[in-house]
Each structure stands twice: as C-alpha cells, then as structure tokens.
Amino acid sequence: MELRHLRYFVAVAEQQSFSRAAGLLHVSQSAISEQIADLEEEIGVRLLDRGSRKTGLTDTGRVFLQHAYRVLEESKNSVQEAQRAERGEVGSLRIGFFAGGLGDGFPRLIRDFREKHPRVELSLVEMSVSEQWPALMEGRLDIAFTRVPEPQFRRDIRYEIIQHDPMLAILPRTHARASAKRIDVKDLATDRFVVSSRATSPSVFDKVIELCSEAGFAPNIVSVNTVWSSVTLMVQSGEGVSLLPMNHQQPSATDLAFVPLKAKNAFVELCVCWAAKRDRQLLRSFRELTRLHVRGNERL
C-alpha cells in the first residue's frame, strides 16, 4: 500500500465520482480506478459502491476513510517536521561547558536561543576542557564552549574563537606585588607556582609555561590541581602563586589578590567547537546567535 492509493481513495470518497477525483488530482480516470482496485485487492475488502451516477462508500469504506485521513495527516506532519529539522527549528542540542569558563552572557544566550527555538530541546553538560573534545567526536556533545582543541583533534573538530580571556596573577594579599595595578611575570620568578593540570586544561598550562619562559625563567611548580577552585585554595593556603584565566565565578576572597598581567599575549582563547561530520543547520543557527551576542560586546 502506498500513500497515493490513500490519496486517490480519499479523493473519490469526497467527490463521490472517479471523474471529478481525476480532475482534482490531474490524473486520468483509468489510473485512479486501477489504483483503487489494487488497494481493494491488497486489503481484501470492497471500499466503494460504484454506481452509474455516483460512487459511494461501503460501510467498510467509511471506517477505512477515517484511518486514511489520519495516515495522510500524519504523513503531512512528518514532512513538515523533517523540513523544520532541516531549517534547525526542531531537534535536540547537547552543549558542553566547563566550570568557571563562562559568565552571565552564557545564560542569556541560552535563554535567547530557547525563546527563538522553543521546539529545540537543550541539554547543558559540564565537562573539563580535555573531556569535551572526545565527547564531540563521539557524539556525546553537539557543540562545546571550550579552549582551542589540541592538534590531534583539529582534523575532526572545527572551532571558532569567540573571545580572549585575560590571564591574571593570583597572589596572597601578603605578597609584595598584591597591590600592583598590573604585574610583569618576571616579578614572580622567585615564587613557587601552583598550576592547573595540563591533563584537564592543556591550553592554560601551556600558557603559564610560555609566559614564564618569555619572562626568562622556568616556574618552580610545587602543586598541580585539576580545577580553578583548587588552585586558588592552594594559593590561599600559602603554597605559592598562580597564573590563571579570569574566572567568571571568581571568589571574593579577601585574602587573595587578582592582578592583571602586562604581557600582551597574557590570554587564552574561548572557542565554540563542533564535530565537522555532525554539523547541521541547528548547530549553525546556534553559532550564529552566539556571534550576535559576542558582537553585542557581551562576554560569554
């Protein structure tokens, strides 16, 4: 049974005439007659009473007509849903982010997208930076707010830099440079360093090494931690100093100083990333809205 069998049958039932149905559908009367005969033979029942002046429904035909209406309506809905999906108006989106990496602009972006795409189901998934790239490749995430992917992921993952997050020196309030408006990294050459683990945030770890190397020294690393809050806790505990990107949930700790760095390259990029082979209109719509928010000078 094909959809055209049902369309022909419905047309004849509504017009009560093979000839009028043929005119309505712009096909020959013989084609409609043959298709409905095939339909009746396939299902093994007579659907129409073929009279000389008008064609009517059998009792069985009346029952079948109601089901035919539902099937045709459902097929129409299916086409419309597929077209909406192609336009990025329906579907689901799993969005990755990392703790402390996003500010007030991110919730506004999500609310704005929900308002513009009410039929899209959004899921927000917190993951460390290094966990996000495999999750994109494996399809566990559709899009992610993260750092620039490591070289081994760049063949499969596309990315777009949306902002530069400044690096700060995180110092105990008792540190000699704690009250400075800006600080040279070389002023920390004799300090002990607490750093973020390269396993969880390689770009931040590499940036610390880069900045210290450009300042003429290798940092004396005494503690390696996996999350921003653990690093600051170690600094609060007197373990050393740290260089970290600005955290948008930065604690208001009175015993810490957050001092901007003088180096022009003292930043790490925040990117939106997606798997090249899984790109689709819904992702493109989300990225475009992200660009609009960023162009509006809103930090995510």
pLDDT tens-digit readout, 263-278: 999 999 999 999 999 9
Cα–Cα separations (whole angstroms), residue 1 to 18, 35, 108, 289: 20, 10, 50, 44
What is the share, in percent, of the chain residues with pLDDT greater than 70? 94
Mean pLDDT of 159-174: 95
3-class SS at 167? strand
What is the share, in percent, of the chain residues with pLDDT greater than 90? 60
The CATH number assigned to the domain with range 3-86 reads: 1.10.10.10
pLDDT tens by residue, 188-216: 999 999 999 999 999 999 999 999 999 99
Query: The whole model's pTM is what?
Result: 0.73
Q: What is the pLDDT of residue 221?
A: 97
> Which of left, alpha, beta for 267 (phi over 0: left; psi -120 to 50: alpha)?
beta
Cα atoms in the 13 Å half-sphere on the side-chain side of 87: 10
Q: What is the pLDDT of residue 243?
A: 97
Q: What is the pLDDT of residue 252?
A: 66
Q: What fold characterizes domain 92-160+276-295? A: D-Maltodextrin-Binding Protein; domain 2 (3.40.190)
pLDDT band at 250 (very low <50, low <70, confident <90, very high): low
Instruction: State the chain's mean pLDDT as an integer.
Output: 89
Homologous superfamily of the 163-268 domain (CATH): Periplasmic binding protein-like II (3.40.190.10)
pLDDT tens by residue, 117-166: 998 999 999 999 999 999 999 999 999 999 999 999 999 999 999 999 99
Note whether 48 and 13 are within 8 A (CB): yes
Where are the domain boundaries for CATH 3.40.190.10 in the chain?
A: 92-160+276-295, 163-268
Of 164, 161, 218, 176, give the one whose Cα is nearest residue 195: 218
pLDDT tens by residue, 31-75: 888 888 888 888 888 888 887 677 888 878 888 889 888 887 888
Note whether 194 and 241 are within 8 A (CB): yes
